[in-house]
Structure formats: structure tokens, C-alpha cells
Amino acid sequence: MASSAIPSRGPKWHGDYLFLFQSLVAKDFKVRYRNMSLGVFWSLLNPLIIMGVLWFIFTKVFVNRSIPHFPAFVLCGLVPFNFFTLAWVTGTISLVENASLIKRMPIPREVVPIASVLAIGIHLLIQIGLLLAAVLLAGRGVNWQWLWLPLVWGCEVIFVCGLSLMFSALNVYARDIRYVVESSNAVLFWLVPIFYDFGAVPQRFREVYELNPVAALVLACRNILLHAAAPPTPLLLKLMASSSLVFVSGLLVFRKLRRRFYDYL
Amino acid sequence: MSARPVIVCDQVSKYFYRHAGRALLRKHVEGWLRSAPKERFYALRDVTFRIQEGESVALVGTNGAGKSTLLSLVTGLVSPDLGQFSAEGRIGPLLQLGAGMHPDLTGMENVRLNAALLGLTRRRTGELFDSIVDFAGIADFIAEPLRTYSSGMVMRLAFSVAVHLDPDILIIDEVLTVGDYAFQVKCAEKMASLKRSGKTLLCVSHSAGAIEGLCERALWLERGELVMDGPLREVLDAYEGRPPSRQA
């Protein structure tokens, strides 16, 4: 029941969560592509061009002999990183972008940032397809360790959902949070081993490096796809622990801040 | 008629901070540093009323009197800062033209999206789909993007989804006025039939004609305060007879 102390509720939303998520994800996805003549093909074209450039630069210009399959190696870093940055920014601005929804429709608000991350997840699937194709082209075959992939990618999605919950809520109160996120992404580009090997990182920083779920995911992907090895257990544990920790704290921050969303949107 | 209150509003106040719209980090930092008390603006102040199941209630008042805030409160979009509030049952809100719809999606996609947002299940939406489109009367345009629709057509679609939700409490904020005469008559009939089946109605309208046949009771809000609560005719007479200026 309502009281002045407890954030009171009107009626609860008794809807179909699955249908709601599907509808919102479909909305984001359709809206993004409907006004492009090439539609979803863009999502393929962009990484294809990047791959072409990478292949040219790293097999013709800077020939890197110390790292085998260099284009596939870079792609293992780029695909998770691109997904992460795009999903984080999109998630962060989701509440502000969907202000009319938040102000006029009594849906549970947590659904909005999570749905926008999941809509970006559809691109991720396309790009994972490309990544796997690149790995096969590099001459690395399919192996049983690929079964680890859903787990490690799942962890990344959970991680971005947590960050998006937290930052979308903050962004309602201070719209410049969006730019903080964009700047952090630029910094992060160099803190994730995309173009360099993890082996080049000095031993004393490695433990901390692995706590960053994006870096951990990149390492796990390389283990699985390029070395046909299972990701080391401590790495997996760190990945799962830091993703779930971020998700839970994101949810807590969101719950704390959502009370005044209406006033600020 | 059962006398069970479905909406209970007990000494409810809702305030906004002035300049809350300026949501920038700089503003927050300034706020912490100066710790100046923020200026409050009461959208609702000490409002008390009850609405029984099956009642039809109109909200009247000038622009900015708190009518929309009150409707948002009932819909569950806003929580009170002071006082007790509760509303029970399934709510069918029609608060703003095109809320929860996207201009780039087709009418068909918007019906499904809106139904999901209002809490219908996938299966129920499928069952009701034809009936929703049929009631809206825009079958020719259902595959076109919403941005090509006139505001009357958007309203037809939104109203149609909201009433098909089979809400216990239907909430309507002035949007009906954009419909043409024929559709307004159709809406009035639909609302009258909802009313007969024991549903609760809460609506805002500036045209006395639209609410006269439908509501028997009215609440008159002025500057966030409830100035009058009584039979529709009496409240409307008092409201229309009041001096026009409200500047303090």
C-alpha cells in the first residue's frame, strides 16, 4: 500500500514480459534499419570493410609475424569491443530517447534500457557470424571449446545491461553522462587488448586487466577460437563475478533513482 | 452498484522542483556546493477523494491545474510525495496522442507494440487484432507508417487499443477531441457500454458537451488543490461561473 515513506505504486503492471521485450527489441531494430536502403546489410558491410582494411594493413603494410592470424586476432578484440561500446551508449541514452514511453506508459522502467541493449545484441549475432567466418578463413577449425562461447558472450550482455541500467538512470538526472560514457569508451579502446597481445601486458597489471569483463571476453575468445583451448577457470570466474556484480549494482542504482524519472524527463 | 472504492487518494501532494528540467551535471554540482534549498512547485496539494467502482468522473480545471498529474498518479506513472494513494485493477490509459507509438512503424506494428506496452499477452493481441483495426476504422492505412497518419487516425488507433485492453479503469486525457464527429459518437457509445458493464471512467475534457452525457460526478482542480467535488452539473456551473483570471 502507498505511504509517504515507501515509493508508492499505483496499479502494478501485469503484462507479458516476453512479449513486451520482443516488441521493444523489434521496435528498436526496425526503426534503426527502416530508413536505410541497404537495411540490415549495413550491419554486415561495416565490419566487412573494417576486416578488409585490417587485412590490408596487417598483411601488407605492418606485417606482424609474432602474432599468427593477425586479422582474426584483431577481430576477436574488435567484435566484443564494438558491441560493448555501441550497447553501452545506446543503453545510456535509452530512457531519455524513450521519454514519452516512460512518462505515458505504466511499464516497468527497467525493461527500457535492457531492451535497447538486446536490440544491439541482434547486430552482435551478425558480427559473431562474421568473426567465426574469419576464424575459419584463417584456417582454424571448429572445435568443442566453441561451446564456451554462449557463456562468455552471455556474461558480456549481462555486464552491458548492468552498466546501461546504471548509466541510463544517471543520464536522466544529468544529460552529460552520455558524454562521460563516450569518453570512457575512447579510453577503454586502449585498455582492452584489441591490437596487442595480452602477453605484452606486464605481469603485475594482468590480474587487474582480467577484471574488466570486456578484456576478459577478448582473452576468452582468443583462447577458444584461435588456440582451441578452454578459457582458464580463474578468467571465467572473474568474468562471471564482475558481470553479475555490475548487473546487481546497476539494478540497485536504477531502483533507487527511478522514483523521480518522471520529473526529469 | 457495489460501493467498493477503486481509487483512494488521501491527502496526496506531489511536487516538482523548479528547474528540474535542466538536467546537467553542472547544475547538480552547483546544487551540492551551495546547498540552497530547491524551490518546490506543488502540482497537487493535499488532494483527497475516493472513486467507487463503476463511477464516471470528469476532471475540470484550467491549464496547469494538476489534472494531468492526477491522471499520471492514477496510471502509476508518478508516486505521491505525501499522503496515501492506491488504485486497483487494470488501467487503460490514453494520456497523450501517440504515446507508446513510433512514427516510423506501421499501424499494424504500432498496434502490437502498444498492446504489449499496455500489458496484453501475445496471444490475446493476436485474437483482438482484427477487432482493434476494425473499430479504429482505418484498415486501408494499417500497413502504412504512422507518420503518414492524421492526428485523428492516430487517436482512433490508440483509443481502439486502449478499450480492447478491457480496462477496469479507463483514463482519458482530452485526446478524444481530435476525432471527427462520427468517431466521437462511436467513442461515446463505447464508453457508455464500458460504463454499463461496471467499469470506472476518469476523463479530462474542456468541452462540457463531451462529458455531460457520460459522467455524473466532477472534480474541479485549481492550482493543484481540489476546490470542488460533486455532481457534474453543479461543479460545471461553478467552474464556468468563476472569474476567468487565475494569476496570483
Model pLDDT, residue B132: 92
pTM of the model: 0.86
Choosing among B117, B121, B175, which should be mutated to test the A contact, i.e. which has the most A CBs within 10 A? Answer: B117
Q: Is A210 within the bounds of a domain? A: yes
Q: Is A2 within the bounds of a domain? A: no
Q: Give residue B96's pLDDT band: very low, low, confident or very high (50, 70, 90).
A: confident
DSSP secondary structure letter of residue B19: T
Q: Is A9 within the bounds of a domain? A: no
pLDDT above 60 (res B2) = no
Residue A81 and residue A194 in contact, taking contact as beta carbons nearer than 8 Å: yes
- Of A17-26, A74-83, B31-40, B92-101, the range with the lowest mean pLDDT is B31-40
Model pLDDT, residue A237: 92
Averaged pLDDT for residues B180-184: 83
Q: Is A12 within the bounds of a domain? A: no
Q: Is A140 within the bounds of a domain? A: yes
Per-window interface: B 77-136 vs A, CB < 8 A: 77-91, 93, 95-96, 98-100, 102, 104-105, 109, 112-113, 116-122, 125
Q: Is A11 within the bounds of a domain? A: no
Domain count, chain A: 1
CB < 8 Å to B99, chain A: 100-101, 103-105
Model pLDDT, residue B18: 73
Q: Is A5 on the interface with B (CB under 8 A)?
A: no
Model pLDDT, residue A184: 93
Can you list the domains of chain B with their CATH numbers?
5-241 (3.40.50.300)
Q: Is A7 within the bounds of a domain? A: no
For A8, the closest of B23, B85, B96 (CB atoms) is: B85
Over the stretch B224-236, which tens digit does the pLDDT of each residue have? 889 889 888 888 8
Q: Is A83 within the bounds of a domain? A: yes
Instruction: Produce one character per residue of B192-215: b if its CB has 16 or more CB atoms within 10 Å, e if not.
Output: eebbeeebbbbbbbeebebbeebb
Model pLDDT, residue B245: 45
pLDDT along chain A (265 residues), means of 10: 42 80 90 74 76 80 76 86 93 92 88 94 87 86 87 94 95 90 92 85 84 90 89 90 95 90 83
Q: Which domain holds residue A46?
A: 17-264
